[in-house]
Every structure is written in C-alpha cells, then in structure tokens.
Structure 1
Amino acid sequence: MTGVKVVPALAGVLGLSFVSVAYAQTAVPAPSGTQQVVVNAAQDEASRDFAAAKIIIGRKQIVDSGVQNVNELLKKEPAVTIGKDGKPGLLGLPGYTQILVNGLPPSGRDVMSLDLSEVERIEISKSTTAENGPFSIAGTINVVLRQHVRQQQQTASLQMRADGASPGLNGSWTLSQSEAASPFSSTLNLTAGQSERRSSGNEQQVLSNGSGVLPQYQAQRTRWDRNQYVSLSTEMVLQLEHGSASFKPNFGHVQTWNDKEEARQWQNGRHWQVQGQASSGLSGLMLPLNWQREDEDWGESEFNLRWSRNVISNEQRRLEQESITSNNGSNNGSSALREQSAQEINYDWLLSLTQRKTLRGGHRLRAGLELQQNHREPVTLYRLNGLPDTSLVALGSQISQWTQKRRVFVQDDWRVSPLLALNAGVSLADQLSEAQEVSGASQSRYRVLSPSLHLAKKLEHDPKSQFRISLARSFREPDADALLLKPSVNPLAACTPASGCAGNSIDTADSSGNPALRPERALALNVSYEQHLKGDSKLTLEAYQRQIHGKTGTELLLLPVAWANVPRWVQRPANLGDADVTGVNLDWRLGLKDWQADAPKLEVRGNLGWARSELKDWPGPDNRVDGSLPWRAKLGLSYNAASLPLRLDLDASWLPGDWLRNNLSRTTYTSHQTSLAMTAAWTVNRNAKLVLNLDNLLAQDRTGISRYQTSAGTLETRSLSSSHLRLSLRGEFRL
C-alpha cells in the first residue's frame, strides 16, 4: 500500500527556509489490536534482485541528511549529477534521465521540490529495466512516497526563508485519524506560503570580422519574482482482508508575479527599454485511487487510477520604449504596450495494472499494463496598444492537442544461485499525438520496443563484491510541446500591424515546435565492479556507452514563415543524426570506523567521472552531446560528534566550463561551477532537533557566451548573472 499525503505541483516554487519552527500534539499510537500497514519494499527488492544495480536511499539516510527536499538530497548522492541548469541526472546526462513517482510518470507536481517528510525512499537505476519503461537512456530516479501508518496525530509547522535578501514564509497543518474497531483511517493536510526572489544581470555583444572588434550593444536587466500557494490534500485508506485501498484527492492553487526591467543601448544610437509585468496561476485537482491485493495463487496485484484537471492562466504586459539618436543630436522615439492573455485547460488520466508472482526455481515474474491519455487546449490572445494585434493572427489563438500512451511489459528476476542473478524483460510502448492548430492538423505516432538484460555475479570469497553487466535498447520521447508548431515571435524583432513582421537577425530568432520529431533511440551498455572494503565502505567502478540514433537538438534556419512576408530566422527542435557517449565513473563511500573502532565517526563519499561524447553528423569542435561534460567531481563529508548530539555534513561539487555546438551556426559557453553546501543537525533531546543549512556558500556569478557565425563575421554575446547565498534554519519539535 502506498498511501501518501499529496502536495500539488508548483509548491516547488518555494526556496529554502530561513527559520522553521514545527510543533505537534503528541502522537497517540493506534490501540493494540489495530492493524498497521508496514511494507518493507526496499529490503524485499534488494533480497530478490541485485542484477539491475539499484541504489536505494532509505528512510534513515533521508532523515540523517538534514535537507528539506528531493533535489537537495540528490545533490549529496555520489551517483547523481546536478547539471548546470540545476536538473538532476545519471551518468552526467540530466536530459536523458527518467523521473518517476511510485513507479509512474508524475502529474501536476514538481518532483524535485517534494518535501522529504513525504518520501520513504529513492531508487536509482543507471540502466533500463522493463518495469521502469523504455524512456531511460541514462537510467531512472524513482521517488517512492511514504506509506500510510494508522495513528492519531496532529502536527503543524511554520517556516521563514531567505534567498539572498529575499524572504519567504510558509506553514502546514496535518491531521491523522484512525479508530481501533474500524478498518478506515484518514489524513488531512493543509499547506500555504509565499516566497520572493530577486535577480540581476548584464550582457554585451560584439561583432568580430576582418576589420576588428565592433561593439554592438550593452544590456542590463533586473527581475523580481513573488509566489504564493495553497494546497489541500486528504488520504483515505481502507484496510481489506488481503490488501488495502486508498483514495488521495488533492487540490492546489499557485499564483506567481514577476516584474522585470531591461534596457539595451546599441552603438548606433538606438535605445530600447522594456518594463514588464506578468502574473500566472495554476489551479489543479487530482483524484488518485490505489488498490493492492495479495493472493496465494495469483501473487501481488496493484491497480492505480488517476484523473487530474489543471487550469493554467497567464497575463503579460510589456511597455516597450524605443528611441534613436541621430548624428545631429535629434531624437526620434516610439512606444508600444503589448499584452498577452493565455489560458490552458489540461485533462489527464492514467490507469496502470501490475502483477507480481514468485515462481519456483528462483524466478520473480512481473507484468504490467499502463494507459495514459491527455487533452489540452491552450488559448492565447494578443493586444497592441489596447487593440487586437492583427500582425500575429497567423500565429493562431487556439490549439487542441490530444495524446494517448500505451505500454505493456514483462520482466523476470531470476536468482540462478545465491551468487548469480539475471534480470531480463521487454517493454512495448506506443504513443499517438494529434493536434489542431491554425496551420492545420498534424499527427505524430511512434511505437518502441525495448528489450533489456542484466547479469550480476557475486564473488565466492566476498559476496559483498560483485560484477554487473547491462545491455538494453532504450529511448527518449519528445516533449508534448515540441510536437506542436506553436510559433512564438522574438520580442526583440517584434511585429506591428502597420509594417507586419519584418526580417529578424540570427540572434533574435523566432521559435517553433516540430510535429515530425521522432524519439531518440539508444543502445545502452553498462559494465561495473563493486569492491567491498570493510563494514559499509565500498568502491564502485563503472564504464558505460550509449550509441544514440536520431539525436534531438535544435536547428537554426532562415525560413519562409506564415507570419511574415519575408523569411525569418527560426529555431526549432529536430533529429540531428547519430551520437556516441562513452564514460567512466568512480564512486566511493568510506567510513573511518570500518578500519579503526575508536576512530571518529566520519564518512567520506564522492564521485569522479570522465566522459567523451560526439555528435557524428556535425563538424567539430565542441560537437558534444548536450549535458555531457568531459569531467565532473563530487565530494561529501559526514561527521557525528562522539560527545555531542551533533552531525555535520559538507558537500562540494565541481563542473568545468565548457563550449557546446548548439547547431551549425551557434556555439555557447557556460562557466565552471563550484558549489559548496553545509548542514549542521543538533539533536537537543528526543523531542527537539535544530537543523542549519547553508547552500550556495560561494555564491558565484555565472558567465555565459553565445557565438553566431554570420556572413558579416562572428557575433558574440557575453552575459553575467548574479547568484545568492541561501540560508535555512529549521526547528523540529515534538510536544
């Protein structure tokens, strides 16, 4: 049974906490004789299958970490890479890592921002298995939510945060109820809060050619974001004779506002300034039902049914002012007020059925069916100076998209002997997407077959040390938005009703999707050796290769378009050709007490990774796979004081600066990133605990460079973005 209290989607917009105070009425245990649901899934899976190399971050490790959400916890895990965009991934490939919740695709929530109080464990697989599905070229991160436990308890919390100088506040209240004589129990959760964040940056552009370096423009920008949210969720659990049923409806609303200012000054005397305000809201209702049953003849059955409805609204207002100062000192100026209103209604339902059965001879058979359907209708209206913007009629105002996904799988975990295990399976997935846009109807359909095979062999003299090899056919599916044309005009090359859409420059390209986009296909190979040292200390050396066909990227083209009478530069997703990724990882966890009993309780963990990637059909240099860096490193230390109830954690990571060829005309550079975080947890007594978090201690500003090769020369834009220290002080009390 996997009952959880559900907090909806965009609660993840919150930052880290500055001060947190939690208080609770003393929990009243369920009276004797009351059944409690206790599922030891992590240990059960580990005992039955070691072939697929599953890493499990258990509940004790989660509690000891002292951090607040899933993303912060994954930063500590040696096997997980946090990309420069902040996204987690495996094998240094965040864009190729599948994220699941309870083994299913997430819906209506930001998984990485989930509070760890909701999480039972996190399962990490750096390869593809039939049960997890075919869309996991680099592997899968599966967040397993906490199981419901029958108890009488009421808790509340209050938190204040700071991201730099920007404060925030949020609170929650939870009530759990159960009766000894009743098989029914329930949990109610109410959460609300707000946060702020300020950022700034600047950029400059130059043109390099045979005549030298010619300055083009300078720009400055500031932005202020504010977020508010409220969510209400409940979980109702019914204990049955051979299983359980749970119903977990939740409702949430998130509202965001942002104000931004940007000014650009060109060398030719042109000045452009924009003041923008935007507000967006998301209201979501999700109704998930879970049923589980265990039968002596049929084994374990699990049924999930989930329906959700999300309404997204967006209002944007931009006051653009432009002036040109001529050589004689005269000034000609104009202004325009551009407004955009958008609303999207999104319906989604999912049905899954999984059957597990233990057979003779060490076989553990699993089979499943998954059906998902999504319907979305975005509507966008454009206005210029208070009137409908007729220059953007060709973009269309309404889109209808319908997507249907189906998947079946079968998998056998075969324990051949205590030292040898085999995991073999196959997954078949089918997707049909149909869309109606102003340009007409489009359809995209694909079917993928993903066989996988994993073999693990433990050493006879040391069963904790083992070899593993994995081979699988895996895929990366296109994003739903990427399958829509849905063109967007670059605001720096805007259209007007009087002159229409004139030509734009290569660095002010419009954007659109591509209904012809196909899934990426990959042949994945992993070979690893895990060496047990002493106690819980171990080293893991892993080599991997991914042969990718139909690599997805972006193409930048000068094209005739429906919204202009002249060709315009357009950037869109496309299948670019074949690519290879080859790499080696070294992970370690070393406990000093494993070698010396009277040594301090100090653990050292870390990762070193090297990789080489190449997009074969593109010219070099820098024709690498996006996200794949030549090297990366992580180092973590955990110390438990002997005479004090104090635990200290220090975590650092390094990512090098790197150039990447985005398409045939553009290359980009992102600066190196060195991050440093510290956590101190003080257990005052059994009823009180204080946790201090300091994140982004170095607060490095980030540099970016974008280069375009044009007929006039090399156009280079350099940007600098600010960064802030994030501070969290949390108190946890039980009264």
Structure 2
Amino acid sequence: MHVDAKPLRRTLIAAAIVASFTAHAQEGQPKGGAEQKAADSKMQQVEVRGSAEAYDPRRDDTASKIVVNHDEIVKHGDTSVLDVLKRVPGVTVSGANGRGGEIRMRGLGSGYTQILINGERAPAGFSIDSLAPDVIERIEVLRAATAEFSTQSIAGTINIVLKKAIKTAQRELKLGYGRGPDFTNPTANLQLSDKAGKMSWSLAANVIHQEAGRDSPALEEGYNPAGREVLLRETESSAGTHFDAINITPRINWTLANGDTVTWQTFLNANRFAMDQYSDVSTLLGSAPQFPHQGMWMTNTNRFFHTDVNWTHKLESGSKLDFKLGTAIGALRNDTHRMAFDRGTPTLDSDIYSHGTDRDLSSTGKYTNPLVENHSLAVGWDMGFHNRSDARYQQDLPIGAAPGFILDEHYTGRVARLAGFVQDEWNVTPRWSVYMGVRWEGIQTRVEGNTFDTAHARSSVWSPLMQTLYKLPGTKADQVRLALTRTYKSPDVQSLIPHRFLSLNNSSTEPDFMGNPDLKPELARGIDASYEHFWEGGGMLSASVSSRQIKDFTRQMVVFKDGRWVGMPFNYGDARTYGLELESKFPLKTLFAAAPAIDLRASVSRNWSTVDSVPGPNNRLDQQTPLSATFGIDYKAGQLTTGASYAFKNGGPVRISVNQMAYQSVRRDLDMYALWKFNPQYQLRLALSNVLRQDFINSGSYTDAAGSVTRTSIYPGKMIARATLEMKF
C-alpha cells in the first residue's frame, strides 16, 4: 500500500517551527543552579500535593483533554450547543450556519466522533442541537480514547457534562431575543440552586422558540459522454419553519451519615419542529421530472427523558466504589403531507405517518483502589439494553395517471451491550506519568420487521490503550504527550434496517434511502503525539500530530436497485487519515506587561486522508474537512467585556466512489459579543452571529456511461442579532 509522505514531512516541518518559537519564548528563564533546582522542587510539590484550585486538567491530566468551562460556553449568548462547538479548537460543525449539522473532530463525519452526555451515549432520536448551552457545566474534548468511556471514538470524544456543581445558593433568570431577516428567536432560562443541611439541589430550565424563513435555489445540470449539455433544471424552493424546545434538569445531592453520597439527576427535553415547504422546477433543457411542482407540510415532535441515581461509597482502606443506574425513554413522531401539481391540477396526494419509541436501561460502575503508591487503579463495567420500536405508514392516493401506493411497515430493534475495563494511572516520577488501560466491548443487535428478513449483528472489540505525559527536565513550562489507541465504530440500528424512504423525483442525485443489514464494524489503530508549552498567567502553545488506520470503513453510496436509485451504506475497504493541530491562547500581558486586558486564542487544524478502494484525486474520508481554523479575542475594561470569534472551514471536491462526487463549500463564521455589568445583579449581553452572511453551498454529482448529472443547492446566510438580560435575585 502506497502512502504519500508529503503530509508527514509537512507535519514535521510545522512542528519544528512551533518548537523554535517555544524555545524563543523560554529565553530569559534561569537555566541551572540553585534557582532552577528550587523551581523544580516547588513544581514537583504542586504536582503531588497541589490543591484543587491549582489543578489544570489540560496541563496535568495524563490523558489529553480540552475543557471548555461554563463561562466560555455562554459567552456568545448562543441558543444551540452546536454554535458553541464550532469555536472549539479541532472541532467543526457541518450544515448551514452551524445548525442542524454533524459534530466532527479531525474533520471526520459518519459518527467517527463520539458524543456523550454525562459520560453516556445519547439514545437514538435525541437531537443534540436542541440542547441549550445554559444547562451545560462544561464540555470535555478527548483527542484519544480512555478505557472508562466507550472506545467507539475513532476521531475522538466530546463529553457534554450537564450542570451539577452546587457551591452557593443561586437564583438567576435570563431573557433573550434574537432577530434577523425572516428570523425571530425569543428564549428564557431559569437557574435555581440551594443547600439544606446535608442535602443540596438545583434546577435548570430553558425554553426556546424560533421562527425562520428560507429560500434555497438549486441548479441541476447534465452532460452526455461527449461533454454536450443535455439537462438543465432550475429549482426555486422556499420554506417556513417553527421550532419550540424546553430543557429541564433537576438534581438532588445527599451526603449520608457514613460519608456516602447519593445523587439523583434527571434530564427532560421536548421539542417540536414544523415546516411548510414549496418547490418549483423549471426544465430549460431535457426531460422534466415526474413531479415538478411540490408542496410539503411536516411536523416533527421529539420527547426525551433520562434519569439516573449515582451512589458513591468510600471504604476504610481508601478505596472507592462508584455505581450508577439509569433509564431513558424517548418518543419521536413525524407527520408529513406531500402534494404535487401540474398547472394547478393535483397529480399526487401523499401522507406519511411515522412514530417510534426508545427505551434504555443502563448501569455503570467503577472501583478505584489507591493502595499502591503512585498508582490509581480502577476496574469497572458499562452495560445497557436499548429497545427501539418504529412504525411507518405511507399512502399515495392515485390522481390522474399517477399510480396508487400504500406502505404499512413496522420494526423493532434491540441492542444489548456489555463492556468491562481496567485502567491504571502511574506517576512514575514527579515529571512522568503513564496511563494504561484495556476495554472489552461487545454489542449484539437484532432487527425484525414485517417487510424484511430478521437481521442479526454481533461485534466484540478488545481495545488496549496507552497514554503518557512527560514534563521536560530543566523547565517548568514544556511537556510532551504520546497516545496509542485501538478504537472502532459499530453500525447503529437505523443503518441496519433495509426499508426504504422514497424520493418523489427519484434520480442518481435525489435517491431513495435504505439501510444495509450486512454492515460490519469499522476498526481503527491510532497514534497521537503532542508538544505543549505553558506560560505563567494562563497562556499555552501546543502542536499535535495524529494518524488513524481504519479497516472496513463505511461510506454512503448510490446504487441502481429494483428499478430505482437508492442510497445505502456499505463497508468500502481501508482508509488512512493524518492530522496536524496547532493551538495557542494567552493574555496579551504575557508578552507586554503594559498591554490592555486582552486575551487572544487561535488554532489551526490540517487533515489528510486516503481511501484505498476509491481512485484519486480527492478520495478522502467522508467529506473530511481538510483545513479549519479559529481565532478569538476578548477585551475587558471595567464593567464592559467584549470580543469576537472567527471560525474558518475549508471545503472542496470529494470523491465518494468511482461514480460519485460531492463538494463542500468554504465556511467563514464571524461572531461578536459585548457584556455590560450594571451591578452584581443585572447585566446585558449583546451578540451578532454570522456577521459575514456566508452562504452554504452543497453539491453532488453522479457519472456513469450515460454521462454526468450535478445538483447544486444554495442556502443563503443571514446575520442574527441577539440581546439577553441576565438577572440574579
């Protein structure tokens, strides 16, 4: 197998450049003698006996981790967690204006990035973009896998931790209003917490309403093998949407007489999305589609409830047992009515009704034993059972020459999983720590329905893991990391079900969609290495390189099946991906003592990948983002805090298969905010998002012996202004 060495050479050159800048930053520090020895001794004392306030997980954890705290999360007044994540180094969000898209690390989609809520995978059907930032305590970004969490994290893991810290009584109300062209978005958020003896409690509630309108023109072009244009269609499409959501998160903590703690936490999310959409296709060249004029009226409701109880028991030996039992229930309903017209006369009347329920039962536990000096040994388990029932009814009434069609199908999917792990973090010396772990994870899936044969899928994976952190001698500021991992991705229930979702104007660029019961898990071996430099006052600079080798990777492909074009997932050979990430953040006073109170942050990520079974060029993984970057600035002067954030995401053509191509548009997002504190009880936050009004362009093409067809859609970008009044009482 041939691998292009140019990305690796570029990676090494870039890392060398960063190292040279770091060496320059170290000039002026003492380099020996009693002064240096005293500094080293002091540093070692902090590492071993440091207080919780001095602990920095980014700097001191053996496992590489980025932690985004609550203040950073709410800084820009976002209403969706997706808008928060697009500013996190190394993270990109697909989709128009960062909404309704997929969260990606290393630029990889298709579920390669694991998304957790409080350390557990969110059930199918839960919409992550309906999660309000105000109910989140912190976001943890883990570049390399650890045994405690599921190793279904080829690209990495993002763990969203809901609010749970209760330090003092809190009464806070936030009222916000967002406005833009054809866009309104009022919001309200309530935070309550208090203590009563050995019990403490908190309640977070968030309500969102959004109305939006959007025009999305599209162009479809076709050429014969000789290069002559034979098809030209223009589509005018307009849609109006309504979205309502509520998040409620109550939590109660008890401290028992023997020192044990019991925590009960619940998360409730309910949302409703409605859309009215109209489209008209004008055929300027070639044959017209079967249904050129369409109207669609759709309503989608989603309810999700999760509750768990966590018991922590400390033994006399100093060991600790942590046990959690949880359950979740989700319900999803979708009602769609479609009609087609020809010169005002109806040609199609179609109704689709679908509803599904998800039920989860899970248990996790960990036993920690600190008996061996300088070791933190833990043994644990993670098991769960997921049941999904779904039913779909479609009725197409015959009008004129259009044939009638009735589809009544239902299915049940059951997923049982069991995992066990052992991990140990060993402080070899005050400057060198090693994390080693192994996790076994088994998943069994059964899908049965009335329109297809029962499908079974079993997978089990051993994941040995190693990470190490070494703080370079002779300095207080420099350290290196290395991680070796084995991770995987198991197909979800929906991708295994072989029932079809029909497209009205079926073509190679507008295919039906169905699952594939023959999918296999994807396995990956990974290596990560990084260099980090820290300044006093909170500044840091890091450079990291990574590589993943993926076996049996999955790709969405279009095939001609039973007289119709169908999009299906297939295992499609092996792939390799490489990445380089550079990140820096620091107060300006780090460089100039007399500088104003300005904080700067910047990051850039460069990704490469190749797919063995697809000819080049541009044969990279799942529309992988080749280049992304972020830049942010914050300024504080008295009662005013203001700043801006710029996120860049490169695009370009991607070859999905021998016949398929796709195009990603370049994204440039500029957001700005200002916060004015009137007094300790009242403050006003103003924010602008998508200041550059960047359009989102999506394109796909299919080429075979008959020629090529390309469809390009444009979603216009709009700037949104938001004001939020924050009150404490």
TM over 0.5: yes
1:166 equivalent in structure 2: 183
| Corresponding residue to 1:552 among 537, 551, 554 | 554
2:4 equivalent in structure 1: none
Q: For each residue in 1:590-647, what CA deviation from the matched residue of structure 2 results, as whole angstroms up to 9, or x when unmatched?
A: 3220122221122221112222210011111211112423322221112222xx3222
| Corresponding residue to 2:614 among 599, 613, 618 | 618
**Whole-angstrom distance in 1 between the partners of 2:76 and 2:292:** 48
1:319 equivalent in structure 2: 339
Classify 1:382/1:47 alpha carbon distance in 2 versus 1 (closer, same or farther; 3 Å).
closer
In the alignment, structure 1 residue 336 sits paired with structure 2 residue 353: no
| Corresponding residue to 1:262 among 275, 279, 287 | 279
The farther-off stretch of 303-312 and 336-345 is 303-312
- SS of the residue 1:51 aligns to: coil
2:446 equivalent in structure 1: 434
**Whole-angstrom distance in 2 between the partners of 1:91 and 1:252:** 29
1:478 equivalent in structure 2: 491
Classify 1:122/1:294 alpha carbon distance in 2 versus 1 (closer, same or farther; 3 Å).
farther
2:235 equivalent in structure 1: 219
Tell me, yes or no, if the aligned pair for 1:659 and 1:667 is still in contact at 8 Å: yes
Tell me, yes or no, if the aligned pair for 2:357 and 2:390 is still in contact at 8 Å: yes
| Corresponding residue to 1:467 among 480, 483, 494 | 480
The farther-off stretch of 279-288 and 417-426 is 279-288
Tell me, yes or no, if the aligned pair for 1:507 and 1:708 is still in contact at 8 Å: yes
2:531 equivalent in structure 1: 529
Classify 1:170/1:48 alpha carbon distance in 2 versus 1 (closer, same or farther; 3 Å).
closer
Q: For each residue in 1:236-270, what CA deviation from the matched residue of structure 2 results, as whole angstroms up to 9, or x when unmatched?
A: 33221323223334555322211000111223574
Tell me, yes or no, if the aligned pair for 2:246 and 2:270 is still in contact at 8 Å: yes
What number of residue pairs does the alignment pair up? 665
Q: How does 1:447-526 map to 2 (within 5 A)?
A: 447-493=460-506, 505-526=507-528
Q: How does 1:718-733 map to 2 (within 5 A)?
A: 718-733=712-727
1:15 equivalent in structure 2: none
Amino acid at match of 2:382: E
Q: For each residue in 1:644-688, what CA deviation from the matched residue of structure 2 results, as whole angstroms up to 9, or x when unmatched?
A: 322222111222231011222110112211111111112222222
Unaligned runs of 5+ in 1: 1-39, 324-331, 494-504, 561-566
2:66 equivalent in structure 1: 55
2:265 equivalent in structure 1: 248
2:692 equivalent in structure 1: 698
**Whole-angstrom distance in 2 between the partners of 1:381 and 1:726:** 39
Q: CA deviation at 1:451?
A: 0.6
Amino acid at match of 1:221: S
Amino acid at match of 2:186: L
In the alignment, structure 1 residue 147 sits paired with structure 2 residue 164: yes
Tell me, yes or no, if the aligned pair for 1:199 and 1:723 is still in contact at 8 Å: no
Q: CA deviation at 1:68?
A: 5.4
Q: CA deviation at 1:445?
A: 0.8
TM-score by length of 2: 0.85
**Whole-angstrom distance in 1 between the partners of 2:368 and 2:471:** 25
**Whole-angstrom distance in 2 between the partners of 1:523 and 1:297:** 38
**Whole-angstrom distance in 2 between the partners of 1:379 and 1:390:** 23
Unaligned runs of 5+ in 2: 1-50
Q: For each residue in 1:678-699, what CA deviation from the matched residue of structure 2 results, as whole angstroms up to 9, or x when unmatched?
A: 1111222222221111111111
Classify 1:705/1:75 alpha carbon distance in 2 versus 1 (closer, same or farther; 3 Å).
closer
2:705 equivalent in structure 1: 711
Tell me, yes or no, if the aligned pair for 2:220 and 2:712 is still in contact at 8 Å: yes
Amino acid at match of 1:604: L
Amino acid at match of 1:258: M
1:294 equivalent in structure 2: 314
**Whole-angstrom distance in 2 between the partners of 1:237 and 1:733:** 26
The farther-off stretch of 621-630 and 523-532 is 621-630
- SS of the residue 1:685 aligns to: coil
Amino acid at match of 1:683: K
1:275 equivalent in structure 2: 295
Tell me, yes or no, if the aligned pair for 1:232 and 1:250 is still in contact at 8 Å: yes
Classify 1:392/1:474 alpha carbon distance in 2 versus 1 (closer, same or farther; 3 Å).
farther
Q: CA deviation at 1:351?
A: 1.1
| Corresponding residue to 2:380 among 352, 362, 368 | 368
**Whole-angstrom distance in 2 between the partners of 1:443 and 1:249:** 33
In the alignment, structure 1 residue 607 sits paired with structure 2 residue 603: yes
In the alignment, structure 1 residue 204 sits paired with structure 2 residue 204: no
**Whole-angstrom distance in 1 between the partners of 2:576 and 2:390:** 37
2:106 equivalent in structure 1: 91
**Whole-angstrom distance in 1 between the partners of 2:306 and 2:173:** 23
- SS of the residue 1:481 aligns to: helix
- SS of the residue 1:361 aligns to: coil
Q: CA deviation at 1:149?
A: 2.2
2:11 equivalent in structure 1: none
| Corresponding residue to 2:458 among 445, 463, 481 | 445
- SS of the residue 2:83 aligns to: helix
1:635 equivalent in structure 2: 631
Amino acid at match of 1:515: P
Tell me, yes or no, if the aligned pair for 2:58 and 2:66 is still in contact at 8 Å: no
**Whole-angstrom distance in 2 between the partners of 1:233 and 1:146:** 8
Q: CA deviation at 1:527?
A: 1.2
- SS of the residue 1:73 aligns to: helix
| Corresponding residue to 1:80 among 81, 85, 91 | 91
1:665 equivalent in structure 2: 659
The farther-off stretch of 136-145 and 448-457 is 136-145
In the alignment, structure 1 residue 194 sits paired with structure 2 residue 209: yes
Q: CA RMSD in A?
A: 2.7
Classify 1:193/1:256 alpha carbon distance in 2 versus 1 (closer, same or farther; 3 Å).
same
Classify 1:44/1:591 alpha carbon distance in 2 versus 1 (closer, same or farther; 3 Å).
closer
Classify 1:133/1:231 alpha carbon distance in 2 versus 1 (closer, same or farther; 3 Å).
closer
**Whole-angstrom distance in 2 between the partners of 1:723 and 1:91:** 25
**Whole-angstrom distance in 2 between the partners of 1:722 and 1:269:** 28
In the alignment, structure 1 residue 306 sits paired with structure 2 residue 318: no
Q: CA deviation at 1:528?
A: 1.0
Classify 1:486/1:264 alpha carbon distance in 2 versus 1 (closer, same or farther; 3 Å).
same
Classify 1:42/1:405 alpha carbon distance in 2 versus 1 (closer, same or farther; 3 Å).
farther
Tell me, yes or no, if the aligned pair for 1:555 and 1:664 is still in contact at 8 Å: no
- SS of the residue 1:626 aligns to: helix
Tell me, yes or no, if the aligned pair for 2:380 and 2:422 is still in contact at 8 Å: yes
- SS of the residue 1:516 aligns to: coil
* Identical pairs, percent: 24
Q: CA deviation at 1:535?
A: 3.6
The farther-off stretch of 52-61 and 477-486 is 52-61
Tell me, yes or no, if the aligned pair for 1:610 and 1:630 is still in contact at 8 Å: yes
**Whole-angstrom distance in 2 between the partners of 1:575 and 1:248:** 39
Amino acid at match of 1:54: K
**Whole-angstrom distance in 1 between the partners of 2:59 and 2:697:** 48
Amino acid at match of 1:146: K
Amino acid at match of 1:521: L
Classify 1:733/1:191 alpha carbon distance in 2 versus 1 (closer, same or farther; 3 Å).
closer
Amino acid at match of 1:101: I
Tell me, yes or no, if the aligned pair for 2:318 and 2:371 is still in contact at 8 Å: no
In the alignment, structure 1 residue 577 sits paired with structure 2 residue 593: no
**Whole-angstrom distance in 2 between the partners of 1:651 and 1:618:** 37
Tell me, yes or no, if the aligned pair for 1:78 and 1:605 is still in contact at 8 Å: no
Q: CA deviation at 1:333?
A: 6.3
Classify 1:254/1:709 alpha carbon distance in 2 versus 1 (closer, same or farther; 3 Å).
same
**Whole-angstrom distance in 2 between the partners of 1:478 and 1:306:** 23
